[in-house]
Amino acid sequence: MKIGKLELPKYPILLAPMEDVSDPSFRFMCKYYGADLMYTEFVASEAIIRNIEKTLKKLTITQNERPIGIQLYGHNIDVMVESAKIISEYKPNLIDINFGCPVKKIAKRGAGAGMMRDIPKMIEMTSKIVKATKLDVTVKTRLGWDDESKNIVEVSERLQDVGIKAITIHGRTRAQMYKGKADWNLIGEIKNNQRMKIPIIGNGDVTSGEIAKKMFDKYGVDAIMIGRGSIGKPWIFKEIKHFLEKENEMEAISLDEKIKMAKLHFKKSLEWKGEKRGIYEMRKHFSIYFKSLRNFKPIRLRLLTSTEPEEIINILDEIKIKYYNVKN
């Protein structure tokens, strides 16, 4: 499968851009377990042109993360174009435009999924960004603003016409946020639209290899993007690829491997974000790493409230001793 100049394997599995999740520490883990293309956390165009250090840091990518895209969001066309030029200097493999984030503070300003309420502006913005950079440009969006405005079939055609190289579609409207089931029927309709020549990437509710295979087989998508299903479970990419190849579930990852993973992930989180923030943002992952363990609540509470790195490492070691020989 190709996205512009980028060559990807058949049935590629992508890591979604997620705020406070898709940082370098988590990307390291997902790449290790087989993510074919990853994205940075999404970055605000206004913050880029104002040289906000915290935002510019998110643009940092390393060679071993490639291929990788940087996702950009904003509501002002000129600012988005200028920030796309700045992003180009960091040499990602592609730039992705965020027309899908449903968070109120973003959407109400007309950015993210808020752009679904002004399609002419969306198309104009995309066209100008495509013309402003030599990098391949892609888009991530949703089915529409709400159930009465599921206009993604027409929108996809118009975005393709102004030069994007792939489109990722989350199978919910903005009004749904992340509630209810993702509807892949319209995603399949877009893939089967003879006018569409660019890759169609499906996103939403893929949490296992079996589900991923169903989406590839039933809807014919070119790739699948994993978002929330990867949080605290970076090995999901390996699980999905195993199922796609073997059509059975791979052997459960051992508790010993999960603990080694958690320690490495934690170490890299501290290196990247510092002690206080690194600990805080690992909690969402820790709560899922060991979700399947029985009678885990007391240890989980300690793991999610500790503020000392050494204590957290000791708790992880304690888990290994207490649940010795547990596979998952």
Contact 96, 68 (CB under 8 A): no
Please give the Cα distance from 201 to 216 (Å, whole number). 10
Please tell me the distance from the alpha carbon of residue 285 to that of residue 23, in angstroms, as a whole number: 12
Active site residue 30: no
Name, in order, each residue with C-beta under 8 angstroms of 67's C-beta and a sequence gap of 6 or more: 6, 8, 36, 37, 38, 93, 94
Q: Position of tokens 């500790």? A: 306
Query: Is 65:93 a contact under the CB 8 Å cutoff?
Result: no
Count other Cβ atoms within 10 Å, centred on residue 296.
Answer: 16
- List the alpha helices (DSSP H) in 61-197: 77-88, 104-107, 119-132, 152-161, 185-191
CB atoms under 10 Å from CB of 151, counted, come to 15
Residues 18, 101, 200, 303: which is the catalytic one?
Answer: 101
Q: Both tokens of residue 38?
A: 């990853």
Adjacent-strand bridge partners of 225: 14, 203
187 Cβ neighbours under 8 A, 6+ residues apart: 169, 171, 200, 202, 219, 221
- List, by residue number, the catalytic residues: 101
